[in-house]
Amino acid sequence: MRFAIYVRQHDNGEVEFLSREPNVMYVGRKPPMDYVLGILTGFSGSNAKEVTLKARGQSITTAVDAVEITRHRFMKDLRISKIAIGTEEMPPREGESRPRNVSTIEITLTKETKPNEEAKAMQEAQATKEKAASSQM
Amino acid sequence: MRFAIYVRQHDNGEVEFLSREPNVMYVGRKPPMDYVLGILTGFSGSNAKEVTLKARGQSITTAVDAVEITRHRFMKDLRISKIAIGTEEMPPREGESRPRNVSTIEITLTKETKPNEEAKAMQEAQATKEKAASSQM
């Protein structure tokens, strides 16, 4: 998970750190529960009111899964404030000459929960993940 | 491709056929270009101003691909008016007892093009699809 910090420079040269620093999480090939924990962790910071998930190609489905699991099982008051889709140009695969176009999704989540509730939800999510891992063995 | 007709019944018993009948297209496991053609066909009807794509599970990526290909290559003035995600309960797989939760996406597209331009775009899309099919042989 990476975090983005937003800075704005005014005409008089003064630099302002914007108070709302959106957490950005890149969704890849891990199981959805990993990103569920990522979302809950993102919201557990004292100032975090927003988490953005970004995914490409087949991981788009994983991103949607993670959001749906989080809001149905762990954070009932999670709001989806924005969904945007787009296209990104990727370098050609081995043996190919043309760049590939890959679809992307960006899902922004906002919360209205109190910090205590996230801590509880995170414990539950961790237990679910461990249970799932042990049942696969 | 299926079409949905929207009907509203008033308190006095009168039934009103809503003039804006959104075309609904279900995205499955075919290649994205099939759904690109579906979108263009949906818009080529004289009254169609809106096409909605619905997809589940791994087909979510295909739906996003189809929208992105359509608006970058065939209908530059296509607008994404709504994206919604959700969860659907599906019957258990063979050998399993519990129902599965599957993520869904719904993407609504609106256009501002004239009918003639769709006919041209459809010809182009058909040619692209045939070219892709012949290069795979």
- Measured CA to CA, the distance from residue A64 to residue A12 in angstroms comes to 43
Which of A60, A72, A107 is facing B61, going by the closest CB pair? A60
Superfamily of domain covering B7-136: Alba-like domain (3.30.110.20)
Instruction: Say which residues have a Cβ less than 8 Å from residue A67's Cβ, sequence separation at least 6.
Output: A39, A53, A78, A80, A107, A109, B85
Cβ–Cβ contacts within 10 Å for residue B106, how many? 15
Whether this model's pTM surpasses 0.80: no
**How far is the first Cα of chain A from the last one, in angstroms, to the nearest whole number?**
27
pLDDT tens for B6-38 read 445 556 665 544 434 458 899 999 999 999 999
Please provide residue A22's backbone torsions phi and psi, each rounded to the nearest 5 degrees. Answer: -70, 135
Which of B68, B85, B107 is facing A68, going by the closest CB pair? B85
Taking any CB pair shorter than 8 Å as contact, residues of chain A touching chain B are 57-58, 60-61, 64-65, 67-68, 72, 80, 83-87, 101, 103, 105, 107
Residue type, B34: D
- Measured between beta carbons, the chain B residues lying within 8 angstroms of A67 are 85
pLDDT tens for A46-83 read 666 899 999 999 999 999 999 999 999 999 989 999 99
